[in-house]
């Protein structure tokens, strides 16, 4: 028997935000495989608004 779940992860960095969505399958032998279904990346430049103390404005 196999079970599949869809998971997502967001990585928000100082200049880029990335998203990945994947289907993760657990197989009868206990092994896991993943199949990415969505990958997105956008430049957000969050660090552009920081001051010298490292605080986002």
pLDDT in tens, 9-37: 999 998 999 999 999 999 999 999 999 99
The predicted pLDDT at position 42 comes to 97
Whether residue 53 contacts residue 32, with contact meaning beta carbons closer than 8 Å, is answered with no
Whether the model clears a pTM of 0.95, i.e. scores above it, the answer is no
pLDDT in the model for residue 12 = 94
pLDDT: is 46 or 6 the higher one? Answer: 6
Distance CA 2, CA 10 (A): 26
């Amino acid at each position: 028997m196999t079970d599949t779940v869809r998971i997502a992860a967001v990585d928000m960095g100082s200049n880029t935000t990335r998203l990945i969505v994947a289907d993760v399958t657990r197989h009868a032998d206990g092994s896991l495989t993943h199949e990415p279904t969505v990958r997105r990346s956008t430049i957000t430049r969050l660090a552009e608004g920081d001051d010298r103390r490292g605080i986002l404005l």
